[in-house]
Amino acid sequence: MVSKTFKKRIDENKFLFDICKKFNDAGKEFWMVGGAVRDFLLEEDTDDFDFTTNANTEEILKILSEDGYRTTEVGREFGTIAVHIEDQTLHITTYRKDEYDKDSRKPEVIKVSNLHEDLLRRDFTINSIAYDPLKDSIEDPFRGIKDLSLGELKTPRDPALAFSEDPLRMLRACRFISRYEFSIDSKLFKAIEQESERLEIVSAERVRDELSKMLLGRKPSLGLRVFVESGLSNYVIPEINELKMEKDPDHQHKDIYEHTLVVIDTVSPELPLRLAALFHDIAKPRTKGIDGGKVHFRHHEVVGGKMTRKIMEKLRYDKALIKKVVRLVELHLRPHTFKMGWTDSAVRRYIVDAAEEIQELNELVRSDVTTKNIKKREEIYGYLDNLQERIEEVSEKEEIKKMRPPISGDEVMKDLAIDPGPLVGKIMKALYEQRINEGLVSKEEALCLAREIKDKE
């Protein structure tokens, strides 16, 4: 079964066989390792092609140069050479083991003479499997294939040592749990608890990337549970811990933490949506109030938008993504006011405010409906369906995407005999608001408003 699976994958990627042959012809051992072997066994698509060899970097470069392969030496200090073949990048690394300083996750690389020592340094047993495409042979000294079949995440060595050496491995554990729906035993979980503070030595960018990959998994709630309940979240997003609010026997409300996990699993695996789902109720613990015996979280979407921006900036997310996610968090409650009746002006305002995120916002709003009360759920879905119909109707009728005042800034300056400056900007902003509030207006109506604003100045 394994042999058939690998043969199919190698046949689909013939360049893998070709490069293996180059090294074997040069008398060198050459093994595919890591993500590709794991994903081939799981019959998952992959472009994560890593190899390990007993050739040193000079020998690797010599073998590749003889056949004109294009290489990059960016990882040379770690014994790694990148090879570019068509649209793929392969990484070839000399057998090695890593020794870490306690204050850094950058190891001192020590060359070793055999494959098993190289596999021992790797993060998890599922990534410590090697395959030789030429001999159709597998080396699995740490029973990674068994762990894959059982859906269990284990380390080749003592997990506390592995996580202490490279704390990012703890987030990688959460990522693999999320992506493949793996489980971990109590020993691995306790090791993460024990070493979670070590995450402080990892750069924000590295943490951000692992968090994003975790959120994009098939079942992100599984990885997030380990992330939060092991204490890792304390060093990344401590605000998430606040979602696990103490139960109030007198004033009941839904479990915000559990609700958040359900919403994250429900939305599409797109990063803006998954991040918005994670943060959409992030401010509820800080906005909780009680009036007339009822719990409320007034303006939690506004406070949540500000918290979201701060968290994402700390994690060094790019500005465009931050803007998108903040908008989704800030607007996720507005569609629920539709049941009270929206004018065309309100629909236009929603379309304009939601901008390019309107479809993602509509999906987030629907996913946020986690009530088990079937009647209530159908009622909410009903008015959300009506809102979608109104959005389509107004958008088509008024071409909202092209919405502009009927006169330009140049026409305003010419008709009112004013020079470029703040007044023109103020008038154009008012004309834009007029267009949203009143719909299609004539040029004369727009000019009338412009003159009124000028006369007040």
pLDDT for residue 457 is more than 60 = yes
Least confident of 4-13, 346-355, 399-408: 399-408
Q: Given pLDDT bands bounded at 50, 70 and 90, which one contains residue 420?
A: confident
Q: Given pLDDT bands bounded at 50, 70 and 90, which one contains residue 399?
A: low
More confident site: 137 or 306: 306
Same-domain status, 241 and 206: yes
Structural domain of 324: 160-330
Q: What is the pLDDT of residues 166-179, one digit of tens each?
A: 999 999 999 999 99
pLDDT for residue 1 is more than 50 = no
Least confident of 111-115, 271-275, 341-345: 341-345
Q: Quote the pLDDT of residue 79.
A: 79
pLDDT for residue 327 is more than 70 = yes
Q: What is the mean pLDDT of the chain?
A: 87
Same-domain status, 167 and 143: no
| Nearest by Cα to 35 from 24, 22, 25, 44 | 44
Same-domain status, 188 and 293: yes
Same-domain status, 277 and 426: no
Same-domain status, 125 and 88: yes
Mean pLDDT of 206-226: 97
Least confident of 204-208, 269-273, 357-361, 398-402: 398-402
pLDDT for residue 8 is more than 80 = no
Position 415 in a domain:
yes
Q: What percent of the chain has pLDDT above 70?
A: 94
Least confident of 35-44, 335-344, 373-382: 335-344
Q: Quote the pLDDT of residue 122.
A: 93
Q: Quote the pLDDT of residue 235.
A: 96
Q: What is the pLDDT of residues 286-308, one digit of tens each?
A: 998 888 778 878 899 999 999 99
- CB < 8 Å & 24+ apart, contacts of 441-447: 441/405, 441/406, 442/406, 443/406, 443/407, 445/406, 446/405, 446/406, 446/407, 447/407, 447/412, 447/415
Boundary-marking domain end, from 88, 115, 150: 150
Position 47 in a domain:
yes
Mean pLDDT of 334-352: 83
Position 343 in a domain:
no
Same-domain status, 145 and 177: no
Same-domain status, 35 and 136: yes
Mean pLDDT of 92-121: 83
Mean pLDDT of 79-92: 86
Tell me the whole-structure pTM to 2 decimals.
Answer: 0.85
Q: Quote the pLDDT of residue 218.
A: 96
Q: What is the CATH number of the domain that holds 100?
A: 3.30.460.10
Q: Quote the pLDDT of residue 176.
A: 96
Q: Given pLDDT bands bounded at 50, 70 and 90, which one contains residue 400?
A: low
Q: Quote the pLDDT of residue 104.
A: 67
Q: What is the pLDDT of residues 217-276, one digit of tens each?
A: 999 999 999 999 999 999 999 999 999 865 554 445 568 999 999 999 999 999 999 999
Q: What is the CATH number of the domain that holds 204?
A: 1.10.3090.10
Position 109 in a domain:
yes
Position 399 in a domain:
no
Position 352 in a domain:
no
Q: Quote the pLDDT of residue 315.
A: 97
Q: Quote the pLDDT of residue 138.
A: 92
Least confident of 181-190, 212-221, 351-360: 351-360
Same-domain status, 138 and 199: no
Position 414 in a domain:
yes
Q: Quote the pLDDT of residue 403.
A: 66
Same-domain status, 202 and 316: yes
Boundary-marking domain end, from 127, 150, 173: 150
Q: What's the domain count of the chain?
A: 3
Q: What percent of the chain has pLDDT above 90?
A: 53
Least confident of 16-20, 197-201, 208-212, 326-330: 16-20
Q: Quote the pLDDT of residue 250.
A: 45
Boundary-marking domain end, from 306, 330, 354: 330
Sign for the CA dihedral angle at 207, 208, 214, 217 comes to negative
Position 335 in a domain:
no
Same-domain status, 184 and 297: yes
- Distance, CA of 398 to CA of 420 (rounded, Å): 29
Least confident of 36-45, 96-105, 249-258, 283-292: 249-258
Least confident of 114-123, 148-157, 283-292: 283-292
Same-domain status, 26 and 64: yes
Same-domain status, 29 and 134: yes
